[in-house]
Amino acid sequence: MTWWTKALRSLISSEEGEQLDIFRIFPGTRRFLAKRHHYAVLRTASDVLFVLVVISGIFGPQNPDRNVAVFLTWGVLWPTIVLSWFFVGKMWCGICPFPGLGVFLQRKGFTFSRKIPQVLQKYGVYSSVFLLALIIWIEVVAGLDRSPIGTSLLVLAIVAGSALLAILYPGQAWCRHLCPLGRITGAAATLAITEFRADHEKCKGCDTFACKKGIDDKRGCPVYLGAYGVQNNLHCLVCGHCLPLCDRDSPQLLIRNPYSELIRNKGRYITCSYIVPFLIGSQLARFIRLKPVYAHLQAASGSPDPLLFSLILLLCFVLVMFIIRAGSYLFGITEDPMFGKFSPLVPIMIPMAFTGELVYRMTYFTDGIGNFLPTLGRQFGMGFLEYTSFLIPDFPVQILSAFFMLNGAIAGCYILWRFCLEDFEGLIPFRNFLGINFLIMGLLLFYLVVIF
């Protein structure tokens, strides 16, 4: 069997043994990730781009049509990160520039290395989800995606938070417990086509735990996992720190069925349970805000934009929560004697949630890409770039968006089908099965209405 045939089977099959290990087929990928100087080059490149964007945002023109910092952040970087979720999971977090200052301070000895408090471990998820909600709300009502200095101050605030926790605690505590971008990336990574896992047969007998603790001058896992501790895609940064530390060749980078983790966890991840309803609700509200009806509603009600958007956001969130509760009621099973309570509609809706975010960010990209070079020209006095301006028509973008959302809905129906076929076989009445599919299609219809 050729490697690409096995890769295809890995994407389709739900069997654990069918997964293809990229490290075995392409050993160069393992060597690349294991060599820390390769990551250093990538990190340096991202740090340089980060610094340039911040400097341009603070000291450059504050008109977004004369400053490329805004589009580079919201139109290029963020859509690229969102797209990466579906393929490499949290690998972006391995080269993210935000923890750079904190890592530098730790290496220079500016850290107390205190024990991570229990309150941070227990309630960090709630704080990070709140911060994510706050960022999305501020992005919209304060127009951060049109504000160079606002964009720069936002990313500097995240850097400051990461650096503060790096001074107080060892490793990258911000990335593990509080980072809002890391939290949404981790939730989205649960449907990635790749996963980083240890071969636990090879881990048996290991008494050094070097992949977690480090050895000599080599740092261990920055988020306190180690290869053997990775059970899902929520927290592992795929940063490669564990590769040169493991003398048993245990870590694997596997191609998998992208819905296998969602089917396996069945809505037990607290992170996803909080992020998914807010994310879908915020997407619907953000799309509505872009429609002419929003301006008419604002004029008719006389409400300020922050208040009106907040009300629509709340209504959309309540709608999504109603769909989740109604779907769970129809499903009829929300607790298992083996693994406790779970929310079956959350993994079913995850593909639509993150496909919706991709569609929203793609819309921003297509709206702005035609004006990128002219904006660069205005900022740096290259007037001839004005002639490179172009416009991408709305209709093909809308068709592509509808195609993506349809695939997200089909994925949700597939996960539901797998639930009914395997773990809950014979327990879900057929009419209830149809009812849940109706809810999924209803949400898809709502998406299509606000997109078109």
17 confidence band (pLDDT: 50, 70, 90):
low
6 confidence band (pLDDT: 50, 70, 90):
confident
| 244 burial level (CB within 10 Å; 0-12, 13-18, 19+) | middle
**CA–CA separation, 367 and 79 (whole Å):** 13
Torsion on CA atoms 372, 133, 180, 451, rounded to nearest 10:
-40
Check pLDDT > 90 for residue 410: yes
* Among 215-224, 238-247, 405-414, the range of highest mean pLDDT: 405-414
Q: Where are the domains of the chain?
A: 14-258, 267-451
**CA–CA separation, 306 and 313 (whole Å):** 10
- pLDDT at position 217, please? 81
- To the nearest whole number, what is the mean pLDDT of the chain? 92
> Residues 120-127: contacts with CB within 8 Å, 24+ apart?
120/173, 120/177, 120/178, 121/177, 124/176, 124/177, 124/178, 125/177, 125/183, 125/270, 125/271, 125/274, 126/274, 127/177, 127/178
Q: How many CB atoms lie within 10 A of CB 335?
A: 8
Top-confidence residue, 219 or 307: 307
**CA–CA separation, 160 and 166 (whole Å):** 10
**CA–CA separation, 334 and 342 (whole Å):** 5
Check pLDDT > 90 for residue 278: yes
Q: How many CB atoms lie within 10 A of CB 69?
A: 26
16 confidence band (pLDDT: 50, 70, 90):
low
Check pLDDT > 90 for residue 38: no
Cα 17 to Cα 5, 21, 86, 199, 414: the distances in Å are 14, 10, 22, 12, 21
Top-confidence residue, 337 or 106: 106
- pLDDT at position 1, please? 63
